[in-house]
Structure 1
Amino acid sequence: MSEKQAESRDSAPQTQTYGTVEELRKYIETTRDRLVNDPRTKQMIDSGEATWDEVKSYLRERAPQRLIASGPTTTTSTYTYSAGFWCPVTQGGTFTAAPNTVFEVACDAETAKKINLRPQVDVVFDAKANQLVFGFDLPGFKKDDISVETENRCLSVSGNRPKINLKEVYGEQMKCLVAERNFGFFCRRFQLPPNAIDDTVSASMQDGVLFVRISTSEKAAGDKKKVSIE
């Protein structure tokens, strides 16, 4: 195998799964140390291609993310690494969220390869309005940059924010002092409960926050019912 082939193989998106948080933490620490001590990292910084703030931001963004939504099924959770991000996912077969709850599910493999951004989200059940409300932090995103879809009782929110070429904006002589803003593609998917009403999904942007609202019915679809025998 040539050096170019080996380098291409090493740089290809990898998917790995670790069953315990301790295994995950150890891997993250090893990877971080290897990246910080890599001569190529120092070379990028010395040449002005990147700053230490960018390196630290890169590592911070790829730390394990907490799963803020939970479902009724007790399962063993693992952290799956895909396209530079650690995401807790539910392992096993197909599950259904309990009424008025949601849980996060993994994206398909092709989509996961493109992900390099993971915006934070809050999910609440508004009991007064009988609605599930998702609030995604998406500063800098335009409405046209974002896609909101539902299929098979699954909500998918994705988007892309192209990175700004600072030299095109400020000229070739510019010097980047701090670079902390996030750019790239994201996709987050949530399994909806059986009492979610699909045709009531609405979305709006307010002050850099995407709000997605889904109404729920008091009676869940698929509730148990008595069947008489003739």
Structure 2
Amino acid sequence: MPVTHAFFSVTVDLVVLTVQRETLSVLLIKRAFDPFKDSLALPGGFVTEGEDLMAAASRELAEETGLSTAEGHLEQLATYGTPDRDPRGRVVTVAYLALLPDLPAPRAGSDAAAAAWHPVPSLLDKEDVLAFDHHRILCDGVERARAKLEYSSLAAEFCPPEFTIAQLRRIYEAVWGATVDPRNFHRKVTGTPGFVVATDNYTDGDRGRPARLYRRGPASSLHPPLLRR
């Protein structure tokens, strides 16, 4: 019996996360065209002929929002290929997770009518807010980010080049959506070789005692991990 091969298009979608005002936020666009015109969606689009997937992800982010992943972390998240996920036909999407430091307001372009940061906590329980299956992709991206913070030093990607331990702790709290004990956290991150490196700089100390500033260390993993409660 002959095998019928599926013909499909390939897209890339991006879960772009940052921390703004101590809240985990995701970059969303407002779609300018059908399907799902005027709906919120993750930035992304079709991969062009001969284009690498990572290059397509970076291009779509720049075209739709004016932002670049050059200053942050970008990794492949997962592939989504449910046959009816796109009303235009059989479309398989490769999703990417981008973790970026606090950025200015994005600029809409290409097929996006608008682009803006949205607080993640207000989206996770609303399955019908995002176009296509982007709610599922968003949830997967947030869980990947939360898990990676347990065993890696990736939280520093959300921080400026120099930061206090309190600033780093608030990143964990924003991503995890939970309170972290300050003393245990300070002991863990400063006691793990290569996690953070102390600088000779301090905060100005206008409010309270000056705090030492740190920078990201060379370690890429934490052992034992810093577990969520």
- TM-score, normalised on structure 1? 0.24
- TM-score, normalised on structure 2? 0.24
